[in-house]
Amino acid sequence: DIQMTQSPSSLSASVGDRVTITCRASQSISSSLNWYQHKPGKAPEVLIYGASSLQSGVPPRFSGSGSGTDFSLTISSLQPEDFATYYCQQSASIPRTFGQGTKVEIK
């Protein structure tokens, strides 16, 4: 199975800050990497698919980059509604696997 490792596991930031979360795969997954936002009591929502493609309806302050084994999710200017937990997920092989999550909290 492909192991996905996110860092940091949590961070504190202020509204307006630029935030970057990284995700590393245990083997190359090309660009088969997705990012999800998850808020308590709600369904996860996809933000980025294929490492860098913004899902329809997602604000452009979210962006993704990377290929191979190293990826990142950047929020250019953190908004109040962005405080949540973010997960990466690989779609290169079965079983699909997820990172352990990065909780973004209010400073």
Partner 1 sequence: QVQLVQSGAEVKKPGASVKVSCRGSGYNFTPYYIHWVRQTPGQGFEWMGWIVPNSGGTNYAQKFQGRVTMTRDTSISTVYMELSSLTSDDTAIYYCARGLLVSGKGFFDPWGQGTPVTVSS
Where do contacts with partner 1 occur on this chain (CB under 8 A)? 31-32, 34, 36, 42-46, 49-50, 53, 55, 87, 89, 91, 94-101
Dist CA 97 CA 41 (whole Å): 21
The minimum distance between CB 22 and partner 1, in angstroms, equals 17
Dist CA 75 CA 16 (whole Å): 9
Dist CA 58 CA 2 (whole Å): 27
Nearer Cβ to partner 1 (72/78): 72
Are the beta carbons of 36 and 46 closer than 8 angstroms?
A: yes
Nearer Cβ to partner 1 (17/65): 65
Nearer Cβ to partner 1 (66/78): 66
Residue 25 Cα distances to 11, 56, 58, 80, 91, angstroms: 21, 25, 24, 30, 11
Nearer Cβ to partner 1 (9/79): 9
The minimum distance between CB 88 and partner 1, in angstroms, equals 10
